[in-house]
Amino acid sequence: MTELSNPIPDRAPRSQWRDVWDQFKTHKGAVMGGVIFLLIVAVVFIGPLVWPYDATYIDIRSRNQGASFAHPLGTDQLGRDTLARMMAGGQTSVSVGITAMLLALFLGSLVGVVSGYFKRLDGLLMRLTDLFLALPLLPLLLVMVLLFREPLNTAFGPETGIFILIVGAIGLTSWMPTARIVRGDVLALKEREFVLAARSIGTNNVNMILRHILPNVMSPIMVSATLGIANAIITESALSFLGLGFPPDFPTWGRLLFDATDYLQQYPERVFWPGVAISLTVLSVNYLGDGLRDALDPRIRGR
């Protein structure tokens, strides 16, 4: 009687996140975008800790200087180091973008899940979404800034108050696309077999949403998150460029653009640096979102 050979052990099941990473790294634009975005975040948050100049330090004797070893990006009309102001402005712009994105993502996901799962609330919530979509964005933001600037500045101070105002204004006016996308996915998921099976064993609505619905709509939510950062940075820059954002002594990339327009003919590089920073950040985040969309979609993964 022949001796039975040892059975070959089964391979461990492949991780879904490993498949996502394998698909993501094949998208060269997304990988490059992720690297550039992480580099920008590292420079604006770590750079001020090692850079010797403060963004608000005024040195009249060094005003309007060009690029040099002491000031690689030159100085402004008050002698403040442009590189230090770029890093400080990047902290504000990126912080506003991420915080406003989180607010819009929370509101959009909440409205989308509730609207898609509860049929009796669908009509009301979608008409509310249509109402917000019909409102002109920029005039609405301007009205919110003019109405709530002074009360928030009085309650929280000029810097914290305007930060809360800008984040709230952007977040409250940019949740609608996320809500529509999430609602569509939830409507499709409600009719899937695993949801019907969970409902047949008596799973309540809260557990159904948290354990079965929400994990399966994380893909569009994460993609909306990356694109929401870019939209929030652009919106904040537009408000600051119009002079309705942060105070003049509190730099953001949009504020630097606004301040540089008076010196456009004499010192055009002052417009160039914040413009390049905004463009690179938005472009890298958009590429990152494009790669995440392809990697998280099981219908595209593996192509």
List all residues 6 or more positions away from 242 whose beta carbon is below 8 Å from its beta carbon.
142, 258
The pLDDT assigned to 106 comes to: 93
Domains of the chain, first to last: 20-42+83-296 (1.10.3720.10)
Is the pLDDT at 293 greater than 80? The verdict is no
Tell me the chain's radius of gyration from C-alpha atoms. 24
Give the percent of the chain with pLDDT over 70. 92
Which has the higher per-residue pLDDT, 88 or 13? 88
Give the percent of the chain with pLDDT over 90. 21
Distance CA(66)–CA(73), nearest Å, equals 7
Distance CA(107)–CA(167), nearest Å, equals 13
Yes or no: say if 222 and 108 are a contact pair by the CB < 8 Å rule.
Answer: no
Is the pLDDT at 247 greater than 50? The verdict is yes
Q: What is the pLDDT of residues 119-153, one digit of tens each?
A: 888 889 999 999 988 888 888 888 888 888 889 88
Q: Is 59 exposed, middle or buried (0-12, 13-18, 19+ CB in 10 A)?
A: middle
How does DSSP classify residue 75?
Answer: B
Is the pLDDT at 242 greater than 90? The verdict is no
Q: What is the mean pLDDT of residues 110-123?
A: 90
The pLDDT assigned to 1 comes to: 46
Q: What is the mean pLDDT of residues 96-103?
A: 92
Q: Which helix (H) or strand (E) holds 93?
A: helix 82-117
What are the b/e assignments for 195-232, b being 16+ CB within 10 Å? Answer: beebeeeeeeeeebbeebbbeebebbbebbbbbbbbbb
The pLDDT assigned to 67 comes to: 84
Is the pLDDT at 245 greater than 80? The verdict is no
Q: What is the mean pLDDT of residues 23-37?
A: 86
The pLDDT assigned to 114 comes to: 92
User: Which structure tokens are listed for 85?
Assistant: 């102001």
Q: What is the mean pLDDT of residues 17-33?
A: 80
The pLDDT assigned to 103 comes to: 93
Is the pLDDT at 5 greater than 70? The verdict is no
Is the pLDDT at 290 greater than 50? The verdict is yes
Distance CA(198)–CA(207), nearest Å, equals 10
User: Which structure tokens are listed for 188?
Assistant: 């499709």
Distance CA(29)–CA(286), nearest Å, equals 10
The pLDDT assigned to 10 comes to: 52
The pLDDT assigned to 100 comes to: 92
Q: What is the pLDDT of residues 168-201, one digit of tens each?
A: 989 998 899 999 999 988 988 888 888 888 888 8
The pLDDT assigned to 104 comes to: 92
Q: What is the mean pLDDT of residues 4-13?
A: 52
Q: What is the mean pLDDT of residues 262-287?
A: 87
